[in-house]
Each structure stands twice: as structure tokens, then as C-alpha cells.
Amino acid sequence: MVQEANEQMLPTSLEEMSQKLSDISKRLEAANHMAERVQQRELEAQQNTQLQANMEKLKEDWAEFLKEQQRLKEEVDEEHTKAVGELSTRFSEKKKDLAQFSL
């Protein structure tokens, strides 16, 4: 019985052993290729996730930038309105002074 098992398990010739090693090598190469493809897909998925996170961060930064620009615009508009009011007042005063000197 042990001899029968050995005959089934052990290759009988060098040529048969070489053929089995060649088959095993081919299967290993195929398995390695599949593992590389899986790793590549995982890397691409990870990079895609990172890219999406970066895009979301950029969108948030852009929205914050626009809010800040709007706040600054309102501040400048307010200062402009105040300056125009002050200049109008001064102009009116100067116009009155000029009118008094003209008389």
C-alpha cells in the first residue's frame, strides 16, 4: 500500500518531474499576475478615493474663499459709501462757502 501511494505521489522520471515543476511554475506566474492586478486595482481605488477627498477639500476651500471675498467686498462697499457721503458733505459745505464769497 505504501509503495502504491509512493508511485502515485512521486514522479517516476526526471521528465515527469520537470513537467510538473513547469506546470507549477506556470500556475505560480498566473497567480502572481492576478495578485498584481488586484493590487493595482486596490491602488487605483485608493488613489481615486484620495483624489475625491482632495476635490472635496478644494471645493470647501473655494467656498470659503468666495465667502471671504464677499465679506471683503461688502466691507469695501461700506467704506466707499461712507467716503462718498463724507465727500458729498464736504462738497456741499464748500459750495455753500463759495456761494457766500460770491455774494
Query: Rounded mean pLDDT of 31-37?
Result: 97
Residue type (1 letter), 56: E
Q: What is the pLDDT of residue 59?
A: 97
What CA–CA distance (Å, rounded) separates 60 from 65?
9
The pLDDT tens digits of the residues spanning 44-97 come to 999 999 999 999 999 999 999 999 999 999 999 999 999 999 999 999 999 998
Whether 41 has a pLDDT exceeding 70, the answer reads yes
Mean pLDDT computed over 39-47: 96
pLDDT, greater one: 13 or 19: 19
Check: CB of residue 20 under 8 Å from CB of residue 11. Answer: yes
> What is the structure's pLDDT at 2?
66
Cβ–Cβ under 8 Å, residues 48 and 56: no
Report how far Cα 43 is from the mean position of its chain's Cα atoms: 14
